[in-house]
Chain A
Amino acid sequence: MPIEHTPNYSVSRRRFLDLLLGGTGLAALIGLFYPIFRYLTPPEQEEAVVSSVNLGPAKDFPLNSGKIFRFGNKPGIIIRGSDGKFRAYNATCTHLDCIVQYDAKVEGVWCACHNGRYDINGRNISGPPPRPLTPYAVKIQPGAEEILIASQDGAQG
């Protein structure tokens, strides 16, 4: 009987198929490991939780002035009183969530929305605000004299 079933695949075809298979397998592996490699590369912001923020050198803040800064997802306000001391608060007004500002004339915090006022210690003194502003801890880095803001309980914002 003649040979009916000679191998359909010649040696070269078989090698070609193996090569192609190997190549594609390698491509799949690269496609798999690329995201893994990117994942392992440390992201720009290295930690999940923002518990402090650096506002730069203390000398950039003039006496009797205030500035809004971003703390996590919330606005903060840093105030340098005429006594030179730094104080920082969550800048969200406790009345209706407007953002407060520093009023240098009366040396206090003021909310333009409904004329609410807080003193320099964040206490609500007139107008609608029902509660004092939430304070943040201010630390001045020794040496560099840079301002660090941290929330009192260590959590974000």
Chain B
Amino acid sequence: MFWIREAQVNNIYFKTTIISLLIIVSQAIAVDNCIECHNQIHEQIISDCKEDAHSRARVFCAGCHGGNSALADEEAMNPKYGFVGAPKPKDIPRFCARCHSDAGYMRNFNPALPVDQLEKYWTSRHGELFKKGDYKVAVCNSCHKAHGVFPSGDTRSSAHPKKVPSTCAKCHSDPALMQTYGIPTHQYTQYIDSSNVHGYALFVKNDITAPVCNDCHGNHGAAPPGVSQVGQVCSHCHMLNAKLFRASPHKDGFDALGTMECAFCHQASPDVNAPLARIHTIVKPMAKLAGTVQPAVCVQCHSQGDAGWQMAGKVSAGSDSLAGKFAAAEALIKRAEKRGLEVSDARWQLNGDIHRAMLELRTAIHSFDLEAWQQHFDYADSLVNAVNAQGLHATQELSSRYKYFLIMTLIIALLIVLLILKIHQVENDRKAALTNKQGGIRR
């Protein structure tokens, strides 16, 4: 045939092409042999694996289960070919680690992939119990599934941020299972509560950087954070607040009380008698959190007269007055904008500097140092006052409009009166002229 003759001319290329084709075909055939027989009984598993991370790395059935996939009969599953079948839970961690803890081997696929998962696992609560022979605890596939394993950034993965809460909840919301360990089961319901800022950010605002279970508890090394570690955990994102808190007198006090730093005040309805009751619902911080009346959290420990009580009172009164002033100034500016008055500087201040100053003021509370807070307060207050002044100035501009209208109205009114007089005069003149004519008197 013509094309073969043509190819023979480029003999070397022809050979290489044929060889690489054979390799591809043989690999394809190798997969086919497992699937060939199992496609009926393991249809779901086969379709799950189709595009998962292992398939993409060309690790097919035999890659984990062993055996010789080149053979097309029962012989393929002879243990002499390394066939292991489905590994038992007690074997899983080490089973996966054969590859995943082998840095040299993993480098073939993704050199940036960590290989310390097993090591971390042994440090986790799960791993500790596992070592003691409790095989009911979570192992690799409890979270990652056995078939259909995807990188955690893939939405199909059970370890994707949006799936993590429900993945953990499979066991941790099961009262029968958790009873044996004496662990409460309300974490998931608390987390998905719409008043939980992080859950809200994750599920409603689709912010997959919002912290889920493993961001605070760790993933392969999952364990409850120690009471004094909570601040550290929160500080990954809320670093300024955490920094101030840890330098404040509250740090030691909280540790002594066994309340969980940030989480104690910021949980829904904090109660010093049950400091951990709702720590998985972290609510949006609001001004009334600091103060001397419920629901302010300060009253949980401070009583009338002590320094904390006094500061709480000042902070609460200050925030209230500032919020009121801010609302008033904003209303002024809004009204001015609606009327088309020039207040873009004020608007810039409201959205920029003041927004930032109020944020900093909120952060400054965490120092629990009245003087430091007062400084921030005075700054924010002066900014709001300046905007208010601009709003008032705009209102004056408005009154100058009214003045213009008033003057014009007066002139027009006067003009109208004069025109009426003029009409009278014209008509009278004409009437007089007519009478004179009729009277035959010539002028």
Contact = CB atoms under 8 A, between A and B. Distances in A.
A and B touch in the complex (CB under 8 A): yes
Interface of A is mostly: loop
Nearest to B209: A128
Interface stretch (A5-13, A54-62, A77-85, A146-154): A5-13
Band of interface residues on B? 35 or more
Nearest to B208: A130
A121 B326 CA distance: 36
Contact of A28 (B352, B412, B428, B439): B412
A70 B439 CA distance: 84
Contacts of B435: 3-5
B432 A6 contact: yes
Interface in B399-438: 404, 407-408, 411-412, 414-415, 418-419, 421-422, 424-425, 428-429, 431-432, 435-436
B348 interface: yes
B347 interface: yes
Given A17-B421, A20-B418, A114-B238, A3 B411 contact: no
Contacts of A127: 209, 237
A24 B419 CA distance: 10
B424 to A, nearest CB: 8
Interface in B320-356: 344, 347-348, 351-352, 355-356
A132 interface: no
Interface in A119-139: 127-130
A31 B412 CA distance: 10
B101 to A, nearest CB: 26
B207 interface: yes
B240 interface: yes
B317 to A, nearest CB: 26
A64 B352 CA distance: 24
B351, B355, B404 — which one has the most chain A CB atoms within 10 A of its CB? B351
B145 interface: no
Contact of A25 (B356, B404, B415): B415
Contacts, number: 80
A143 B197 CA distance: 53
Nearest to B407: A31
A84 B237 CA distance: 31
B414 A24 contact: yes
Given A21-B422, A130-B207, A115 B236 contact: yes
Nearest to B434: A5
Interface in A86-113: 95, 98-99, 112-113
Nearest to A75: B352
A1 interface: yes
Interface of A: 1, 3-9, 14, 17-18, 20-21, 24-25, 27-28, 31, 35, 70, 73, 75, 95, 98-99, 112-115, 127-130
Among all A-B residue pairs, the 7 with the closest Cβ atoms: A128-B209, A5-B432, A5-B435, A114-B237, A7-B432, A9-B425, A21-B418
15 contacts: A1-B439, A3-B435, A5-B431, A5-B435, A7-B432, A17-B418, A17-B421, A21-B415, A24-B415, A28-B415, A70-B352, A99-B355, A112-B240, A114-B238, A128-B207
